[in-house]
Structure 1
């Protein structure tokens, strides 16, 4: 009889020990779940906050872009209703450098191309029709300005640069129907002109190629 009671006592102790172990395991699992839930909430909160920041930053960038595009470029000249006819002859343009009008059927390569020799104006005008900005300069331009503007062009698809010795000012920026004389490479209007007119709203043929044309 004593032996049976002892066995019952031992069994009861084992069950109690097992139940305690199970209780502790359940408590541990609850803690793990709570930690996991808390971490998930924190991650989701961070993602939501991050997404909100990115959306806000994107909205701010779009708003700034829209403001730049809407603002006039100080000192800019504009020509409207320019011909887009293709011709195989030299053209006498009313402005220099030309910003539009009759032009050669083949465009000048304008995929961030810097030319150190004069280029045919008729081909360059076709590049403007495709949405390029054309930077031109004379020997009177400061070499540092020419270098910096060249670097700007080399970093910008749909732009090109070349000397035009018979233009009136040392540094000129042109787009289709648009032109401005700038004082230096650091003139704020340089960035504004590029931002506004590289593939800008003035472009008669947006998205047309700037490669596969004349290159020299």
Structure 2
């Protein structure tokens, strides 16, 4: 093969690599931009707050923190032991759930007035997104559904708490939330380490 052909092949390979990397990088940014838009189009209220530093200052599993800045909480002080990953029929303790979010998880919580048909849809969605996910009732939400996550872009900042409060289930919008934010917590674990029952 001639030197010109080698340089041409190398240039083509480099160009393809740049395109693939650009697509992957922009795709991640696109997912993060699409999630709030899709959630709002689905009738959700999206709250984004500066995350509070995480520490184990909540000394009992049933404890709370006056510093939490979303309800339900999406960052900040928490109990030292997280909840076991899974789907629940009883409410979870927020101080434990925040610890799960710190590890990159997402919660789906639903109020006491959410119809059983919608709860069944949420369970089906959970079944397709089990790793790093908690599903549980939270009676105080009434007829609403809440999605919560704690994300960071570096170990130097406490990150962002994100809470979407929705009036209905929307698979596309919920999937966008998970795709954009799950597994990006301040203390990251691989997805296969956040399995139900662990």
> What TM-score do you get using the length of structure 1 for normalisation?
0.62
**Match of 1:193?**
177
Name the SS of the counterpart of 2:50 in structure 1: coil
Is 1:155 paired with 2:118? Answer: no
**Paired residue total:** 157
**In angstroms, what is the RMSD of aligned CA positions?**
2.9
Name the SS of the counterpart of 2:141 in structure 1: coil
Q: CA deviation at 1:188?
A: 3.4
1:212/1:72 Cα in 2 relative to 1: closer, same or farther (>3 Å)? closer
Residue range with higher mean Cα deviation, 96-105 or 58-67: 58-67
1:211/1:192 Cα in 2 relative to 1: closer, same or farther (>3 Å)? closer
Counterpart Cα distance in 1 of 2:76 and 2:143: 21
Name the SS of the counterpart of 2:177 in structure 1: helix
The structure with the largest helix share of the pair is 1
Counterpart Cα distance in 2 of 1:194 and 1:212: 17
Name the SS of the counterpart of 1:96 in structure 2: coil
**Match of 1:139?**
112
Higher-RCO chain (CA-CA 8 Å, sequence separation at least 6): 2
The structure with the largest strand share of the pair is 2
Q: CA deviation at 1:186?
A: 2.2
Decide whether the 8 Å contact of 1:108 with 1:210 is kept in 2. no
1:64/1:206 Cα in 2 relative to 1: closer, same or farther (>3 Å)? same
- Could you list the runs of 5+ residues in structure 2 that have no partner in the other structure? 1-15, 151-160
Counterpart Cα distance in 2 of 1:207 and 1:96: 25
Partner deviation per Cα, 1:52-108 (whole Å, 9 max, x = no partner): 9xxx99986775444112335133211214120113131134432111111010111
> What TM-score do you get using the length of structure 2 for normalisation?
0.67
Q: Which structure's CA Rg is the greater one?
A: 1
- Could you list the runs of 5+ residues in structure 1 that have no partner in the other structure? 1-51
Decide whether the 8 Å contact of 2:104 with 2:187 is kept in 1. yes
Name the SS of the counterpart of 1:150 in structure 2: helix
Decide whether the 8 Å contact of 1:107 with 1:127 is kept in 2. yes
Residue range with higher mean Cα deviation, 129-138 or 147-156: 147-156
**Match of 2:162?**
178
